[in-house]
Amino acid sequence: MANSTVDQGSALAGLGLRRGLMTAFKQLTSNDIDFIEVAPENWIGIGGRYGRSFREVAERHPVYLHGLSLNIGGFSPLDSNLLNDIRQFMDTFNCPLYSEHLTYCGDEGQLYDLLPIPFTEEAVHHVAGRVKQVQDLLGQRILLENASYYAAPAQQMSESEFINAVLAEADCDLLLDVNNIYVNSINHRYDPLEFLHALPLERARYIHIAGHYDEAEDLRVDTHGADVIDPVWALLDAAYERCGPLPTLLERDFNFPPMNELLLEVERIKQAQHASQSGRMNSTPSVAKQ
């Protein structure tokens, strides 16, 4: 089975493509962003002006895929038609990776929400088996994202233990979302750095960063509708210390500021990646001459 073809040695910073930003995206160059990310369900089979605009943007920027409706933790049969469409979409646009949420989002129909999978041994085996099916159908490894959640039904193990177990049994990779770590650390009262270090970071291939909404002092909501805050930037720095400057995406789903303001956050990602690379080079011992 093929690995994802992202160059893990390169520091790449991207921005999620949303229809509300399409006009601004058409003005961007490779100097502004290194790649775009889309939910394939939103673009498969799209024609007309949006289809033409997407193809124009995709000609200039590599396209990463982050799915919304695979329902990897559900019980309904996997949607083979969707997976075939995703594989064809990846081939058409030469997409280097496909990721999904470690959640479920369907039963007898689409629920249009990302719901928490119980942290149990039974769920580990169930999800891992479905991931293997997906990887077989796509012919390559996929990435699963550590998700934000607001309840933990039937919990028998910790969140980090559950993620480790699923990724190990499925033999898939990790999409590390540092904002989700921060949101969950407030909502479920744990130390975000300890959680970060408990994850299978040797499997991390890609990172998300985003903003969120402060509903209350002890409740954060993962909205992707605000600027990234300093504690989340600090988690990104900590992730780079452990994983190196992996390709990193800025997510913004609504409440869009002007593009130049979004690009300032993309530039901050690039600066953090550069600092991580410089620190690693400075900490590498020199090889003694023979």
pLDDT tens digits along 58-89 = 999 999 999 998 999 999 999 999 999 999 99
Confidence at residue 289, expressed as pLDDT on a 0 to 100 scale: 34
The domains found in the chain, sorted by start residue, are 13-283 (3.20.20.150)
Q: Is pLDDT at 106 greater than 70 in this prediction?
A: no
Q: Which long-range CB contacts under 8 A does 263-271 form with residues at least 24 apart?
A: 263/15, 263/32, 263/33, 265/227, 265/228, 266/13, 266/14, 266/15, 266/32, 266/33, 267/13, 268/228, 268/233, 269/13, 269/209, 269/236, 270/11, 270/13
CB 14 within 8 Å of CB 34: yes
Closest to 177 (Cα-Cα) out of 150, 213, 206: 206
Give mean pLDDT, residues 118-137: 97
Least confident segment among 72-76, 122-126, 216-220: 216-220
- Residue 287: which pLDDT band, with cuts at 50, 70 and 90? very low
Over residues 94-103, mean pLDDT:
96
Q: Give the residue with greater pLDDT, 9 vs 77.
A: 77
pLDDT for 24 beyond 90: yes
Distance separating alpha carbons of residues 84 and 175, to the nearest angstrom = 22
User: Picking from 85-99, 146-160, 162-176, which range would have the lowest pLDDT averaged per residue?
Assistant: 146-160
